[in-house]
């Protein structure tokens, strides 16, 4: 398995901070439940780090992490999703992880071009595309901008796609940047989860290390897409939202998606908040696997 780079990545505040982040990241991959590869793909927006799991001959599935998550956030889900797919998990340049920023992404067109260049570098023409939170927004944006390259779409608690992100999210995110202490991180994560749920260990540790040592260079902020574009989305789509979603109104989000997207399966996941894939991995895994299995049936492919 390719090791993390030893040269200084400018996204880190200090060399010592990069070393500390490396330790936490490598420990997360040591706990990865199945074999994983680490690749770097050149793009005009920076060299993109990609985790890859699943059979080489299996159909591709591009899976995008949430903001400040890194691709290690998929540890609770990867074993189930990689049984039938080759899962590519690129890390957004400028966000926590090992991608390097070249030309910062500043627009929807930039975001779509970046993911397209990653797919080109991996020699993938079209794929199932999905993600959580910001990753869900990026996936939907790509499906709207380059529909010919998207076979199906999976959105898990997408941020900002159908409604503005609420002020409460800002109020719980900013203190983590100003006061990088564990009790502040835990306070923010508890708010994002449904009562009684906790974030996965990998997510919590990487979030804390990133907040302390990483200099975020993400310039794009997720916002609602035009209704006309959403009505023209024709690819099969799965949307999962926690019934205790906090960055927006979960039931309203699901209802709006049902009204706007022609081929959407939009569902509320019981007793789950914004960190849905980690709070309820068994539910999410089973539902996504069923969606993928349905796509593979001849009646769905016709």
Question: What residues contact residue 20 under an 8 Å CB cut-off, 6+ apart?
Answer: 209, 212, 213
Q: Residues 249-257: contacts with CB within 8 Å, 24+ apart? A: 249/163, 252/163, 253/162, 253/163, 256/162, 256/163, 257/162
DSSP state of 222: -
Distance CA 271, CA 266 (A): 16
Q: Which two tokens stand for residue 191?
A: 């708010």
Contact of 154 with 238, CB cutoff 8 Å: yes
Q: At what angle do helices 15-30 and 201-213 cross, to 10 degrees?
A: 170
C-alpha distances (whole Å) from 93 to each of 111, 134, 205 are: 10, 13, 20
Q: Are strands 48-53 and 37-41 parallel, antiparallel or unpaired?
A: antiparallel
Question: In angstroms, rounded to a whole number, what is the distance separating the alpha carbons of residues 279 and 126?
Answer: 30
Separation CA 80–CA 40 (nearest Å): 24
Continuous segment of H or E residues that includes residue 133: none
Judge whether 274 counts as a catalytic residue. Answer: yes
Classified as helix, coil or strand, 261 is coil
Catalytic residue among 85, 172, 274, 283: 274
Alpha-carbon span 277 to 193, nearest angstrom = 11
Give catalytic residue positions. Answer: 274
């Amino acid at each position: 398995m390719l090791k993390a780079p030893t040269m200084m990545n400018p996204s880190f505040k200090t060399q010592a901070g990069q070393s500390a982040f490396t330790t936490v990241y490598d420990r997360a991959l040591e706990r990865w439940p199945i074999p994983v590869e680490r690749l770097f793909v050149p793009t005009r927006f920076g060299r993109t780090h990609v985790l890859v799991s699943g059979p080489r001959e299996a159909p591709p599935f591009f899976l995008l992490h949430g903001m400040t998550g890194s691709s290690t956030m998929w540890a609770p889900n990867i074993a189930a999703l990689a049984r039938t797919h080759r899962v590519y998990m690129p890390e957004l340049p400028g966000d926590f992880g090992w991608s390097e920023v070249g030309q910062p992404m500043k627009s929807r067109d930039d975001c779509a071009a970046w993911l397209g260049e990653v797919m080109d570098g991996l020699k993938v023409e079209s794929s199932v595309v999905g993600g959580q939170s910001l990753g869900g927004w990026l996936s939907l944006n790509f499906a709207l901008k380059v529909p010919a390259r998207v076979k199906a779409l999976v959105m898990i608690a997408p941020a900002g796609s159908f409604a503005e992100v609420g002020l409460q999210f800002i109020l719980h995110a900013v203190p983590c940047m100003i006061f990088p202490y564990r009790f502040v991180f835990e306070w923010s994560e508890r708010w994002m989860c449904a009562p009684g749920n906790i974030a996965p260990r990998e997510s919590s540790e990487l979030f804390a290390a990133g907040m302390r040592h990483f200099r975020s260079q993400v310039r794009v902020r997720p916002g609602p897409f035009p209704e006309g574009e959403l009505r023209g989305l024709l690819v099969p789509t799965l949307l999962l939202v926690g019934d205790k979603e906090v960055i927006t109104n979960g039931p309203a989000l699901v209802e709006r998606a049902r009204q706007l997207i022609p081929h959407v399966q939009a569902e509320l996941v019981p007793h789950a908040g914004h960190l849905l894939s980690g709070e309820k991995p068994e539910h999410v895994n089973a539902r996504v696997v069923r969606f993928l299995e349905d796509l593979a049936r001849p009646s769905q492919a016709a």
